């Protein structure tokens, strides 16, 4: 009987935890959905900066997911003429997201002087926070896939940054189901991280 009671308590705790994850994710997505816009809606954004969030790279260049982000950022640039910040993980000698991102943009017609490089955007939170603390941006246009935009926009809002999101999703990416699960947990983590820091 004792073990049965313990099992019930454990199940209740797990269900409560899962429910809280669902509630937080719904809240974060609903509260930021209207900030995801089409490029054609980016009017009066001359004082904004475009931020491209990093993703995996290899010796062969940028991944398909990152390529879509960069391609979309080029379209945003052509519409707004705003400077671009590429932010990703370039903290290791043998792995460099931001140089690959920079090279891709330059090779596709973006003037080098219009690009800033943040080599220490080790996470979504780092990229958004550093855009304010290091680069002094208070108005940004975030370019990444939609599943990732909700958290990025929530972080920006929590840090008092005015932000729009541009969805760079072009295909169904391989491994997206697991990526969605990881993002749900990341939303939950960053939600409480920002609440605690405040």
Rounded CA-CA distance 56/15 in Å is 34
pLDDT of residue 107: 96
Domain 2-197, classified CATH 2.60.40.10, yes or no: no
Render the burial of 141-151: b for 16+ CB within 10 Å, e for the rest.
Answer: bbbbbebbbbb
pLDDT of residue 1: 59
Asked if 55 and 148 touch (Cβ cutoff 8 Å), the reply is no
Domain range annotation of the chain: 2-197
pLDDT of residue 81: 94
pLDDT of residue 2: 64
pLDDT of residue 156: 97
pTM for the whole structure: 0.90
Q: What is the pLDDT of residues 62-79, one digit of tens each?
A: 999 999 999 999 999 999
CA separation, residue 13 to residues 10, 16, 20, 124 (Å): 5, 5, 11, 29
Q: What is the pLDDT of residues 168-193, one digit of tens each?
A: 999 989 899 999 999 999 999 999 99
Asked if 28 and 191 touch (Cβ cutoff 8 Å), the reply is yes
pLDDT of residue 119: 95
Q: Which residues in the chain come in under a pLDDT of 50? A: none
pLDDT of residue 186: 96
pLDDT of residue 45: 86
């Amino acid at each position: 009987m004792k073990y049965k009671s313990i099992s019930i308590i454990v199940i209740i705790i797990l269900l409560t935890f899962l429910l809280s994850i669902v509630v937080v994710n719904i809240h974060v997505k609903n509260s930021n959905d209207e900030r995801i816009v089409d490029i054609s809606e980016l009017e009066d954004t001359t004082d904004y900066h475009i931020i491209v969030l990093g993703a995996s790279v290899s010796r062969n260049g940028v991944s398909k997911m990152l390529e879509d982000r960069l391609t979309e950022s080029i379209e945003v640039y052509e519409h707004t003429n705003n400077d671009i910040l590429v932010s990703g993980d370039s903290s290791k000698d043998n792995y460099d997201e931001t140089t690959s991102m920079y090279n891709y943009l330059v090779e596709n017609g973006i003037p080098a002087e219009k690009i800033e490089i943040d080599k220490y955007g080790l996470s979504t939170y780092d990229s958004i926070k550093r855009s304010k603390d290091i680069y002094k941006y208070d108005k940004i246009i975030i370019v990444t896939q939609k599943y990732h935009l909700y958290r990025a926009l929530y972080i920006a809002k929590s840090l008092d940054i005015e932000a729009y999101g541009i969805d760079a999703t072009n295909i169904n990416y391989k491994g997206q189901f697991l990526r969605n699960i990881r993002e749900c947990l990341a939303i939950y983590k960053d939600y409480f991280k920002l609440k605690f820091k405040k």
